[in-house]
Amino acid sequence: MRSTFLAKPHEIQRNWYIVDATDVPLGRLSSVVATVLRGKNKPTFTPSVDTGDFVIVINADKVQLTGKKATDKTYYHHSGYPGGLKARKAGTLREKNPKKLIELSVQGMLPKNTLGRAQGLKLHVYASGEEVGQSAQKPPVLNIKDLL
């Protein structure tokens, strides 16, 4: 009788990938990145274990917002105090803090538990012109357009 393979945390081989966000729609980019962070692209995927890889997203400020999302989509944040609701449009968030835009989008596609938070820590986002700090790993480029 065969048994189902379940990966153990010490058996997992993690890789690094670079993703270029230039002219890629935000949702398409986020879904591919979230899939790689969770490890669903591997045959050893186990839902209860973090089997995912590390992802570096470069050129975050050049990500594409399709339709009228730049003017209509709103991100909310509350400070916890009365009257502390803050609202920002997606277009202004992309101009002021493009890293946050991608992080919020990818985090929304990960599980809402301890495992999802651990998987979100493997995401590194850089705007254009910033130096990538993980160059020692020599990560290969993951071409998003081939996966879509």
Cβ neighbours around 57 below 10 Å, total = 27
User: Given this model, what pLDDT does residue 136 score?
Assistant: 81
Question: What whole-number distance in Å separates Cα of residue 5 and Cα of residue 125?
Answer: 33
State mean pLDDT over 101-116: 96
User: Given this model, what pLDDT does residue 118 score?
Assistant: 96
Task: Using alpha carbons, select from 10, 8, 52 the residue that is nearest to residue 33.
Answer: 52
Share of the chain above pLDDT 70, in %: 99
In the chain, what are the domain boundaries? 15-147
Report residue 63 as tokens: 């990500």
Question: What whole-number distance in Å separates Cα of residue 39 and Cα of residue 105?
Answer: 18
| SS3 label, residue 124 | strand
Residue 148 in this model has a pLDDT that exceeds 90:
no
Higher pLDDT among residues 145 and 80, named by residue: 80
**Chain centroid to CA 15:** 15
pLDDT 10s digits, 25-72 = 999 999 999 999 999 999 999 999 999 999 999 999 999 999 999 999
User: Given this model, what pLDDT does residue 146 score?
Assistant: 75
CATH number of the 15-147 domain: 3.90.1180.10
Question: What whole-number distance in Å separates Cα of residue 59 and Cα of residue 87?
Answer: 24
User: Given this model, what pLDDT does residue 52 score?
Assistant: 95
